[in-house]
């Protein structure tokens, strides 16, 4: 199974100014074309939050238009820039967006993706009005219940805010802190959890976390500058948009490749280079 992960799309309403020099809507359109052209084509695309930049009127409509040509099944979760009602409205006709909170009290958008060899638990780490993430008791209890249902099945947990430090000091202050330790305990006691996939930092990071693979996807909209100093300025860079390709091999877990979006064609080596 091949899973593509795209994150932090930050789509704006037509005529609005994006946060950086980049046209984020055009970048998402390029990502959609890139995904459709991949060979082999991914089985599933996970969109790990911040689908829009606001929330502001017109953004989810613009998002729907740009995602319409995507020819691969996809699932979304909420980021701190999203609006849960807007997300529900946008994906109301898909059949997979939970419209009522039947199995979780509160306004959270949490659901399990069951249709593929790897099960994905989509968590909602959003705290309304805050850039910082959290998992409250109800969201954690839902996660524990879902994990208990299928303890043998390869499972990915996806949430917008990383529940772990990335070493990017400023961004680590905005991660999921409340509930992270409890989630870590669930992961540690669930050997079938392959990975915990996040977004939010706009910078690829990979680590080992509680016996599973922790991963933060780069952003489609723009990348945050790599700076591992203790008090880095918060800056973006001109590095390209990229997506992650997670290849699942039974027994081997997830193997992640970065796929930058743009014109990077493969070239044949010259005979001279081949012989060297």
Shortest CB 50 distance to Fe ion, Å? 4
Dist CA 208 CA 165 (whole Å): 11
Shortest CB 273 distance to Fe ion, Å? 40
Shortest CB 167 distance to Fe ion, Å? 18
CA 114 to chain CA centroid, nearest Å: 18
Shortest CB 79 distance to Fe ion, Å? 6
Can residue 59 be called a binding residue for Fe ion (CB under 5 A)? Answer: no
Taking residues 190 to 229 in sequence order and writing x for each that binds Fe ion by CB under 5 A, - otherwise, the string is ----------------------------------------
The one segment of 50-58, 101-109, 134-142, 232-240 that binds Fe ion by CB under 5 A:
50-58
Q: Which is nearer to Fe ion, 8 or 182 (CB)?
A: 8
Shortest CB 200 distance to Fe ion, Å? 6
Helix segments in 5-53, DSSP class H: 24-37
Closest CA to 158 of 1, 4, 12: 4
CA 140 to chain CA centroid, nearest Å: 19
What is the DSSP pairing of strand 119-122 with strand 111-113? Answer: antiparallel
Q: Which is nearer to Fe ion, 50 or 59 (CB)?
A: 50
Can residue 8 be called a binding residue for Fe ion (CB under 5 A)? Answer: yes
Can residue 50 be called a binding residue for Fe ion (CB under 5 A)? Answer: yes
Tell me how long the chain is.
276
Residue 218 and residue 7 in contact, taking contact as beta carbons nearer than 8 Å = yes
Helix (H, G, I), strand (E, B) or coil at 107: coil
Residue 56 and residue 15 in contact, taking contact as beta carbons nearer than 8 Å = no
Residue numbers at the binding site for Fe ion (CB under 5 A): 8, 50
């Amino acid at each position: 199974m091949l899973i593509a992960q795209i994150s932090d799309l930050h789509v704006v309403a037509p005529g609005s100014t994006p946060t950086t020099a980049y046209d984020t809507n055009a970048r998402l359109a390029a990502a959609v074309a890139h995904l459709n052209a991949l060979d082999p084509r991914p089985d599933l695309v996970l969109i790990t939050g911040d689908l829009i930049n606001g929330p502001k009127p017109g953004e989810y409509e613009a998002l729907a238009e740009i995602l319409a040509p995507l020819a691969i099944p996809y699932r979304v979760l909420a980021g701190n820039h999203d609006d849960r009602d807007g997300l529900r409205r946008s994906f109301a006709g898909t059949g997979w967006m939970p419209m009522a909170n039947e199995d979780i009290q509160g306004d959270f958008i949490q659901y399990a993706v069951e249709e593929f060899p790897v099960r994905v638990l989509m968590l909602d780490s959003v705290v309304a009005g805050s850039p910082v993430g959290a998992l409250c008791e109800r969201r954690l209890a839902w996660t524990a219940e879902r994990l208990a249902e299928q303890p043998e099945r390869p499972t990915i947990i996806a949430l917008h805010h990383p529940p772990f430090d990335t070493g990017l000091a400023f961004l680590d202050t905005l991660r999921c802190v409340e509930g992270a330790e409890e989630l870590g305990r669930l992961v540690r006691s669930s050997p079938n959890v392959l990975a915990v996939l996040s977004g939010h930092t706009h910078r690829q990071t990979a680590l080992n976390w509680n016996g599973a693979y922790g991963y933060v996807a780069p952003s489609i909209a723009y990348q945050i500058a790599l700076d591992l100093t203790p008090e880095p300025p918060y800056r973006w860079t001109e590095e390209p948009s990229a997506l992650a390709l997670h290849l699942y091999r039974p027994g081997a877990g997830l193997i992640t490749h970065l796929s930058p979006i743009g014109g990077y064609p493969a070239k044949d080596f010259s005979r001279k280079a081949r012989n060297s």
